[in-house]
Every structure is written in structure tokens, then in C-alpha cells.
Structure 1
Amino acid sequence: MISPPPPPPHAVDRPALRARLDDALGSPLTLLVAPAGAGKTVLLSQWALSRPDLRFLWLEAGRADDDPARFLRRLLRGLGTIDPAAAELAPLLTIGGGGLGAPLLAALVELLAERPGNVLIFDDLQLLTNRALLADLWWLADHVPTGTHLVFSSRVDLRLAWSRHRLRYALLELRQAELAFDADVAAEVLRRITGDAVSAATVESIMERTEGWPAGVQLSAIGLRDHVDGEQFAQRLAGTDRLIAEYLSEEVLEAQSDERRMTLLRMSALETISAPLVESTLGVTGAAELFAELQDDSMFLVPLDDDDDLFRFHHLFRDLLRYRLRAALPGEEQRILASAAEWYVANGDIPNAIETYLRAHSWDAALDLLLKTGREAYERVRTAPVARWLATIPESVRHRRAEAEVLYGIVLGMSGDSAHAEDVLRTLSIAPDLDPGLAVIVHAYLAARVQFRPQVSVSLEDARVALRLLDEHRDTTIPDLLGLTSRGLLHTMVLVARGRAHLLAGQWPDSRNWLTRGLESPGGQYSVYRVHTLGSLALLEALSGRLDRAQELADEALELARDRELLVHPAPADAYLALALIAVLRGTPDRGSLALHEGAMRAASNQRTQLMWVAHLGAVLIGAADLQESVPPPAVAAPPIVRAGLEAAALRDKRLSEGVADATPRATPDLPLPGPLLFEVIACALSKKDAPAARALLTADSFAQDEPIDRIQRDVLAAWLAHVEGRGAESRQRIARALERAAEQRIVSVFVWAGPEVMRLVESLPGTPTPFRTEVIRAMRAKLRSSTAQELPEPLTDRERELLTYLPTRLTNAELAAHFFVSVNTIKTHMAHIYRKLDAPNRSAAVTRATDLGLL
């Protein structure tokens, strides 16, 4: 991101077009769509120069900007001139998947809303092929606040939702016809470049041949400088824009000295040029002076930064120069690119070195660098560029170096392309000649796909195979990939994968055993893996009803993540979801919305579909309407614990709303019903007073795992059954024992979900209610009451309602961020939304307004 480039010396002001741009400022977006050389950039730079009252921020897209991290770094660098706090938004990218992501986009909107008077120009968008990134820019255009205007400039239609924008915003579109020069502008451009007035006949001839195409007029002017008879020269122009450009470029180049002409041709091999790069790669002396001369001569050199350190040729001119270079010096382009890549390596710019090697088709040199990629790519969620670079290399080349193909499968998975990753790793796993050390890596990473794939049995088998190979090949050297394939780290990863598979299958004791072994293994001390494992253990203990332990584990995971700057890494997803489920089970589901949202986003950031299903279940239990639609693709089946939980929730909703529901038991001796579904099946029978059916299901070993949640559920159902059968004393004894057990972990949800009849049993117990019993009664009554209607045109989201309850406290934004394990900017964003929706100027007014509405 830089300030708008200055208009070239020959540029002629075009007030009519500037006025149209001014008029469009009241809408969010302007589109400029026209071919190369149409004058888009020049017009926008003139407009920016004419409006000192506005802040213009300019981002010229390049092919490397398909990497969201690179695109964001450039964007935030420019936004930092508006608000230094923009730099704080950078970590939000890592939960954006292939694009910028919802958290970052929301934060950008808030930042721009607080600093109005901005025009953000995105130039050369045709070079972006990342559809997720383009879609995010369109989302930004849809939500950009008043006082901010976006400009999208492209050679081609981007084929996105333009019609919707046209209808909503009276969208301004400037295309080739509007940008073409008229005769007066063309005459002035010709005069400024040639240094003399040009005859009307010459102008007419040039207009006839170029049809006012700005690049054609500029090239014609450069050519006229070296022709005595301007009219004769103009008459020789013929054909399409492309043919005119090719002919004129010949004229322009022939007018240069042999040395300069060859320098221009060789410079065209480089996408971005700087004086040190050109001097080192091409052996040119005085490159900075050369650049200044080219700019003075209107030779299509475009600055890329405010300090005039980086430049590029106009795309059309560069294409023509490269065409000449390839014809004159076959192979020279690749040699120059390889030399430039070496220069980047020497200067520590590895990403540009890899990109340049790839453009030179120096595949092995690129692979050498890629195979040295370190652990920071994983820790900072920057594996997507590695996957993109490896995909650029022909398969035949990757297959010659098996470790490159293994790395490709690993980074594909880390980047969220799960199906492709599975294909690559499965193919490698059956290769007969695969090196044993690589085979260990492949099977370990196949096991680690457990949160990405729906087949739990496949994950368990992969883990068993990986553990066997690790044992069989104890003395085998294992290649180092990403700094993550040491024997210790692979062993930990497989132990945790096996624990997660049992977790998703609802097998709590087995899951606890394997996850604990993973946590206690040497590799379990690696911070990222430790955050992962602690979170999975927290999720397990939350589901099993050991809520105090779950809270400890989740807090430890998130505190470690915060200390290691990993809060926005996908790793803490399990811990956040555990906190959300703890809130649900303790009868305060509204206190889990922020954690649920954070966990769901991190699970979705690299498409861990099975964890996304867990997040969806959490959304259903919390009642978070704005997250319930965030589910994996329909083709991806939910894991057993989620299927059982969702079916139980559906039965419960029907039973509580209609007073009765039918549920057909599906248990067999070999396949008992999962706990939450078994509870609901028995509750359905009891709601119909069908004691025999309930008694048949409620045997001593119905809840076979005997976890805290199972014991409480069994006691509540036994109390209900005794009540239905008229055994009052036993019913009271059973419900009292259920309350006593539940109080140990403060589990409230079982009583709330049981419904009115159990509520009456709790209320009718003799004696003074304990604090926990009072808490249960309060939660059960709140469930039965209809919620207070919000008198707001735009309702608060679940996360905003949760944060609203903290507004009356004295906690600062920083303290709230620490409490919720989120960024300060996340809190600021939600606060801003709350103030806007409550029409309150500050925190105190928001509390007053929310209290008046019954929201507090």
C-alpha cells in the first residue's frame, strides 16, 4: 500500500471525469474496467491530487497478493497512516482461511468507521486469482461505513456480484469508452511529450488509428519525437490496439541507443525492479539515474512505493518488451530470473526468491528453498503460500523428490484443503518404494487428519498403523520437514490423534487415556501441540461432566496460547469450544457465545469439519442463531457424538414444546445409545407416563461409561420414573442425590433439559434450598419463561448480549479481552456494535438504555 503515484509529466487534467468520481463518493464503490493502457491509473492519481481533503490509500495488486498474508501486510501498512492501531489487526488474518476472514473484515469496518474521509483504491485487481480474497473485497464494499469509498480498478470484469451493487448503490462504472481521449486531450498529450504543437491533421490521423486509446496516443507521441514528418508517421498507424502497440513499441525502442534498448529488454524479465536488483542482476551501473530518465521520457515506468525505490513497467509495455527479449535472446529471461532469485536469497527475501525461481522454471532451486521451510510457517499459519508454490511445480518434478510430495500433502492439510491432502498422502502411503522415514511421516499425518474426516474408524486405524511404524522403525532416520517431523513430535501427534478419534466416537475413557499420554509425552511440551492437546482434553472433560477439570485445562491452553501469541492460531479451537460447553452445562448458555464464536472460527479457518460439527452442536445448545448455519458441507457427515447430540436436542425441543414426543430406541447389546440420546429417549417415554419402557432402558449399566454426567442423568431419570410409578419417597431421595452430585461440578443443564415435571420434583424437596438447588430452580424457571422482547430495530447478536452483561462492571477493554481470551480489538468491535444498536454514545449510556429495555 502506498500513496497514489504522481501523474506522469505528460498527463492532461480531465475535470469532467474527476467530477464523476467526486459525485460517486456518496456510494461505497466505483469500478474502473478497461484494457491495459486505457489510463485508469493516471485518472485515479489525478483525482487523488485534486482532493487534498481526502485520504487516498493505494494498493496495486500483484500475482503474489493471492497470498492473503502478503495482501494484508500491504493493506495494513497503508491503513496505519490512518490509525496506528491498524497493525494490531494483523493476527486476525490467521483465522481467515483462504481470504481475509470475517473477524478481520469486521475489524476493518470498525477502524474505517472511526476514521472517515478515506478512499481505498485497489488497482490491477485482474491479477488476483484468489476468489476468496476477491469475495472478501466485495463484502467490504457491501459493509464499508459512511465516509469511506472503495475503488476497484481492473482490466477485466471480475465476474462477481456487480449487479447487486449497481442496484443498491447507483454504482459508477467507467469503461474504455469513457476513458478514451478526445481530440483536445490527445493534442495536448502529443504536445507535452514531443515538445511541440502537433498539426490538427496529425492529431486527427492518430485519433482515427488509436480511437483515443491513451497508451496508443502516448506511444505515438514518443514515436513522433524522432520523425520529421509527423503526418506521414501517423498515416502508417493501422490495425487493432495490440498491433498499434507492437508497431509503436518498435518505433520507441528503435529510437533508443543500443545499450539502453538492450537494458530495457533485459529489465522486462523482472516483475518488480529496484536499483540494487538491476545493478546486481543485469550489471547496470547508475540504475537509479536510469529510472529517473525513463520517467522523464514517459517510458511507462510506474513507481510502487513512496520513496521511489521500487518500480515496474506498465503491464502492456512490459509484455511487448518481453516478447522482443524472448525473440532476440532465447533463454535470457530464465537466466535473469535465476540470477534475481539468487539476489533475493542473498538478501534474505526467501518468498520473493521462491516466486522468482518458479517464474524461471528453476524447479529444483525452488524446491531446495521450500524444503527448508521452518516451523514458523505452521505456527504463524503461513502454509497456504507453501502449498501454492508446491502446486506450481510440475508433479513429475515433485515425484522425483518424494520429500517434496510429502511436504505438499502436509501443507495442503494445514491450509484447509483436506480432501486434496488426503489424496496426496494416501497415494504416497501405498507407494512401494517410499523411504521408511517418509512412510512414518505420511502415516502420522494421515492419523492427524482425524478432525478433518468423518470416518472415525479410519482415523483409529491410521493411528494404529502410525504407532506400529514408529515402533518398527526406531532406528530409521526421519527427514526434517517444517521442523515438525522429529520422532518425538510425530509420536505425540499420533497419540493425540488417537485420543481425538475416541473423543469423536464418544468413548471417554479411551480418549482420556490417549490424550493424557500425548500431553505427558516429550513432544507434548511443544507449545502448539500442548495447546491442541490441552484443548481436546478440556473438550472431553466438558462433555463427560468434569467441568472444573475442563475449565482448568481450557484456561491453561488459552493462557499458553496467549503467552506464545497463538490465540489466533487454529490450535485453541478445542479450548474455546470447551468453554462454550461448560457454559451450556452450567445453565448459563448465554455466557458461552463469545467462546463458541472464537472456537467455531478457528475450526473453520483450516476446515476441520469434525470440530466444526462440534461447534455447530454448541450453537444449537446455546441457541446462537448467528452460528447455527455455520456447518460443514452437507456431504461431510457429523461425528457420532454430534449426531447423538443433535438428535437429542431435536427430540428435547419437540418434547418441551409439545409436552410429549416419540423416540424409538436404537440401542443393541453391542451398540448402546450415546448418553445424551439415551437420556432423551427415556425422557420421552416418561413424558408419556410409559414407565415400563423407561424402566427397560434405565438399567444399572445404561450409562456404561459412568462419568459424572452419566451418574447425574441416571439419578434424574430414576427420580422421574419413581415419581411416575408413585414411589414418592424414592423419587425425593433420587432427585436429592442428583442435586448433590451435580453440585460438585455445578451441572445445571440436566435438570433444565428434563423439563417441568423434574422442576416440580426439585421445587418440592423439603428443607431450605441449598445455593445450588436455588441456582437450578432459577435456571429452570428462566427456561420456561419467554425471553424479554428487544425493542431494537437491529437486535444484538449472541456475542453482543454476552458482552453487554459485563458493561455494568468496572472491567476495562483490556481486562475483558484477557477474561475472554480475545484481542482488545475484538472487544472494541463488539462494544462499537452495542453502542450503535442501542443508540448510545458511551458505556454508561449503553447500560442505562439496556436496563430500560430489560436487557440487563
Structure 2
Amino acid sequence: MSAMTGLEEESPATPEDDQADPHGDPFLRTRFAVPSLPATFLRRERLTRHLDRGLRTPLTMVNGSAGAGKTLLVADWVARRDGLPVAWLTTDAAGDGAGMFWAYLLRALRGAGVPLPADIGFPADANRVSPALPARLAAELSVRERPVVVVLDEFDRVTSPEIAEQLGFVLHHAGPGLRLVLVTRTEPLLPLHRHRAAGELTEIRGAELAFTPHEAAELMELHGLSLPPAAVRTLVERTQGWAAGLRLSALAAGQSPDPEAYLKEFEADRSTIADFLLAEVLKRQDAATQELLLRVSVLDRFSAGLADALTGRDDAGAILDRLSRGNAFVEHLGHGLYRLHPLFGEILRAHLRMRRPGRETELHRRAAEWLRRSGSLAEALGHGAAADDWEFTAGTLIDDLAIGQFFTGPRSDAVAGLFSRMGRDTKGPAPELVRAAERLARREVDGGLTHLRRARHELAEYDGTADAAAPRLSCALLEALAARLAGAPDRAEDAARTAERLRDAVPAELLERHPELTALLLDHLGSARLWAGRFEEARDALTAVAESAPGAATALPREDSLGRLALIDHLTGWPGRAERKAHEALVETERFGLSRPSGSGVERLVLAAVAVERDELGQAQALLDTAAESHPAMRDPVREAGHALTTARLHLARGDPGAALKAVRPEVTADADSPWVRGQTALVAAAAHLAEGHPEAAAGLLGEVPDEEPACAVGAARVELAAGRVEAAVRLLDRMRPEGRAGPAVTVRAALVRAQAADAAGDGAAARGFVVRALAEARRERLRRPFLEAGPWIRPYLGATSLHRLTAGWLAPGSGPPRRRPEPPPPVVEELSGRERDVLRRLARAMSTEEIAADLYVSVNTVKTHLKSVYRKLSVNRRNEAVRRARELDLL
């Protein structure tokens, strides 16, 4: 039989077999020893519990990279197992043949106290084994009352399909008598898919082996290092929780007089971690693989095609697949993309600089060109900047029509930060356009216009060429923004017409890829038209933006357009509509996870103005404060004028006309006059003069009030009436006829002017009819200010029992001006995020900012940012107010 199979029959097991392997050499007893645990070993209960659950399945696999803590984890678990025999075998570094593997495994079982009969046999050949041996072993194990646990450490060294097949046979036929634990860096050759499908596999992989910040802090303490949570979190982020990296860092830091500073500043290329990774990972690879790893170290993530571009070869796909399967610190992200472990990549880059000086810049340039051709804009820009090739980088941004990314989208901060490193010596139209965008993004109009002039001069060389279409369209967008900020509506119209002509010359796929360009252009045009008082034309442009397809790239212009549409509704007397649009604007960016302000904040000013109309003065003040806090002073004529007017009206409502006169004259720098700003400013100033008892001074301002807008005409009629010119007031209303042309905030005041005029003429019935009309319209919108402003003449009408049904529940009747009802607490302007609620709950427990940061494992600055957002959303200014407000709203 042996002659036919080519195998020698196993000899019966004898006592001597316990002393020698198939070569006749003594067994290496260290291969059976469970590794001892260092004094600084950290027991992680979540992982040992997972291993405990693994006893319910025949196969457990602990799979992770070198230094991930696999072996020590299983060794600790084994040391705590009571009752079950455990056979430990560390596979041979050179790779055992089948006979040697089974000889060592049989010895491990006997050493663990597992009785095996002599007829199981013993391999006579180090490289081969008879099928009878695995069959007899499986039969013997299958009848055990209690299973034996077999741990095969470093199983990635077993590369023989024959051994894997035999081991799988034993595992299958041993049934409940065997629990196999494989500790490996790579996927073993066993048919894991079958075990997974049958629910017979327990897996612990690299992500689970990674230390959490809490575990890392405990590990540091075991090494005598007490670090603040922020330092621990930074270390975990850098090592990605890699056990060996954390331990080696702790050991090295322990030798430093300032461990925290060392861990923050240590250079990976000079550390013991570098030595470990270079020896355990890089130098285990062949020369071609080492060269690939060094070259792709300049990349954050990469495909096989990009790796081939950097190496000049065509075999990167197979190499990367092998490395990722082998846990060689190369992770497959899916969709054909890979990345290096961050610390491994850092070490490889340092190694590359040492071995190939100057090569890093060349690799970045190659990557940038390949990524640009493949359409990966963000990565192309990053590598172009890393190569210090700013002409290429700026040209890539402009040619891709991506200039709008300076102002909107999830990458706006990244793009601005990237180009902040561009030197002044870089010439050409694209760099000048980028500089103009940088300045305009900061609302530096004069500086932006200077660079725009230079860009136009540079572009003159490209007249009539197809290459100039994208730069010229980008230039038109920036000119529209500059015109909006400068209050120059005619220039904005010119820029919009230029952009419309250029659209046909730009590839359609570019416009589809960058919807933010069109959204920004229309937003700027709509804002400029709003400044000019062309409300309907402004509404058309802004509505097109607000109704565009939602997405992160256009969230900020949609927010801004909704805020300005709300302002138009407010100016034309529709507070309810204005409020709804303003709330839509507030949630527009948050639903896409964007926190950067749009640069206007008009929506909060509108909500504050509506709150003044409803005599909810505390809420109005809170909204004004949050508008100023979240959108600090910047050049935007519409916003500046809106803030001044709302602030002045709030002062008037509080009975301080002097403060109103000071606030209503904003220092708005604009190239063109805004008729509605001029008119509204004059009306607020006139109201302040009236409150001070100077009707003639108020009437003297009427020349500044344009009467083509219903709101301004009604305001002028109120001033005329207060000055005693009753007939002039009525004629003004008759000529304008605001009813049907304006909203209730205008028509209510118009009705009250007519009611006062009728009362002055002694026509009480007509006056009562106009008051009834005003109340009916005001009730729907809860407009209290018009009645509080009306004066003593209205007292008898509001006090009439017959009008009680119109005033009940929102406007208190009485003999004098309506008494103010206690103001309801301001509503939440925006919903709190989950992390903001976490901060708020700890705030309610009187925890300090530092304690909250430590408890949540975030930085103090992050907590401060969350607190600022909580205050804004709850319309409060202090901690105790936030807690009280949250309890009122059942948030705590």
C-alpha cells in the first residue's frame, strides 16, 4: 500500500515520540509554550468575552496585522480558561511540512493532557503524512465529552494547501470535541466562507483589536504615564489604536522628561516603531513590493492604476491585493481603493526621503497629473500643492470650473487652506483668479477687484480660444460677487449677461459637475437686485436657487437665497411667509452637516424683525445677538442695512427713540443707492422723531421716502397723519391702494391710518370698521406692534366688548394701548445635534468645560464650539440660561 501511495505508514506512537520530531531532533518546547504576559499588559474584557463566545463555534480566527496584540490577547484568554485543556502550538517560521506539522500538533495535544491512543500513529516523514492520521485523530476527538481547545499561533506561516485541507478535515469530523483557534495575519487557506455561512466561525479582526481611547489611557497608566484625554486621543488617531505602536510609544515616552510633549512631537522615522515596522513589514517583502510601498506612501488612498502610474509597472493590483490580504498594513477600502496604515505611511515617507532625496516631489506631480486625467479633482489639487506646482494646481481648479468651492460645499475650508500656501511669484490668469476668490471669500472687495483686473489682463492673450471659456466664466462669477458686495447692481447684471454668453462654450458636464457655480451666480444677482429694490426680479433669481436640486455643494447659496427671499417677504408685509422661509434657511446647511456660515445671516435678522412686529422683544434681541455672533461684521450691504433697521425698530419698541436714531444710520458702503433702504431708514428716523414729540422733524424726512412701494407709502401716510395732515395721509393711501398689493404688516397699518383719520373726522362707525379690519388681518399673524404704535385714540375701540372675540388670546383689550402679554420663551431656532445634547446634559450637571471635554474625549475648543452653537440655537447667552431654557423645552 505504501508503495502505491508514495507515503510511509505512520509508526505507532511510543514514549520516545514525545522527545523527537520526524527528523529525529528534539521538539522545540518553546513552540508549545503559551507566551507570558508583560507587566504592562492590559486585559481587555470586551475581547476576552468575544473569545468566550467563540467556544460555541468550531473555529475562531483572530486576524490582524503585525503588532496588533493578537497573540497576547489569546494567551491571556488561555491563562484564564479553567476546565478545558488547551493545546498551544506556534507554527514554524520556515514553514512546516505536513509530517512535521502533525508531529508537533500531536505533541502539543499530549502536552496539554489530552490522552491519544498509540494507534493514531506518528509521522515518519517530515514532509508528508498518511490520510489515516488525520482520520484517526478526528475520530478520537469526536468522542470526547469535553472539547479540547487547539490554538495555532502565527498560522499565516502555514502556506501548504495540504496541511490546510487535512486540518479542515479534522475540524469537520471532530465535531464538538475540538475548538480550533487560529491566530494569523492573513486569511488562512481553510474554506472560511462555508464556516461563515453555517454560523460556525467566530472572528476578531483588526478593527476590533484596535485600542479605544479609554483602553489606550489605561495602557499609558500601566506604563506610568498619566496623559490628558486630548493627548491620548491624538495618539490613538495617529496609531489607529495599533497595540504595538501604543506600547512602543509609551516605552519611548517613558524615557523622556516630558512624555506628553514627546508623544506629541516624536518623529516616526527615528522611533522604535519605525524599526519595528521596517523589519516586520517592509523588509519581509521583495524588492518590487518594497519600491511600490515607498512610492505609494505619498498617497492618502490610491487605486492600482494610480500605483502603476507611480511605479511605471503594471502589476500593482496583484501586489496590493496580496498585501491587504496579508495584513501588511495595506487596507482595501472597497471600490478598488487602498490606503496604508497612517503611521506606516509616515514611516515609509521618511524612509523614502532618506533613500530617494527629491523623489517625493516628483511622485506628487505624477499623482496630480494622473488624478486630474481621471477626474479626481480634490486629490489632484492636493498633490499639485504638495509638489509646489501652483500654476498646475490653480489651473486645474479653474479649468474644472470649481472656483465656487471657495464659497460653498463641504470642501470650501480645505480649498481655501490649500491655496493659502500659494506664493506671490506664481503668475498667470488662473492664480490671479484664485487670489481674487480668496480675497472675496474674506469680503475684501478692493483686493479682490485688483486681482480680477490682473486676471482679465492675462486672459486677453487667450481671446477667442476654447481654453479661455472656463476661466472667463469663473471671472464672471467673481465679478458678480464683487458687485453684490459693493452694492453695484448694474455691474452684477453685466457679469450675469457675460456668464450666460459663456455657458454654451463650456462643456456641459462641467456645469453638471459644479451646480454651485450657477447657484452662486444667481444668488449674487438676486442679492444685487434686492439692494436695487427690484423685488420681483430679485425674487425670480433667488427662487431659482432656492428651488434647485438639494445637495451639499449648493446648500450655502440655497440658505442665503432663502434668507433673502424671507427679507423680501418681510419688506412687502408678509411676516408669516418670511418666518417660514427664514426657518427653511436655518436648517438648509445643517442637514448636510455644514457649519460654515454663508456670509449673510439675513434669515436671523428677518426672524428678529418678525419678532419685533409681534412685540416679542426678548426673542428679537436674542436673534440679533446670535446673528452678530454667527456672522461677524463683513461687507454685505443688504445684511448691514437689515441689521441697522431691525436694531433701530427694537429700540423704538422699547421706548428709546434716541438709541433708534443712532442705530438707524449704518455705515453701509455701496456704489449705488438702495431705494428701500433709504425709505425705511427715513421712516424709522421719522418714527423716532415722532416719539420724541417732533412731528415737523419727522415730516421733513418724507422727501427721502419713495412712494412707489406700498410699505413706504403707508409709512409716509402715518407720518403725515401724525403731523396733522390728515387729508394728505388719506390721499397718499388712495393713490397707492396697498390692499391687494402688500401683506398684512402693511395693510394693517394702512387700515389703522384710515381708522385714525375717520376718528379725527368724527366718523366713529367708519373708524370702528377699519379697526375691525385691522384686527382681523393682524390676528392671523399675531401682529401687536401696529396697535401699540397707534396711540391713545385707539383705546375706546379696543376696549369695546364687541371686539373681544378679535382680541382674545393674542391682544389684550383695555382702555389704553394693549398690555403686553408675558413673552413666551423663544423657540429653538435650530434643532440640537446629538453631540450638542451630550454637552448640554453635562452642562446641567454643572461640569466645567474641561470636565466635559475629558468626559467626551474631545478637545476643550470643540466643547466651546458646541456650547456656542447651543447658546445660539436656544437663543441664550449664558450657561444657566441654556440649562433653564432646555428644561422649559423638555430637552433635559
After TM superposition, the score normalised by the length of structure 2 is 0.47
Rg larger in 1 or in 2? Answer: 2
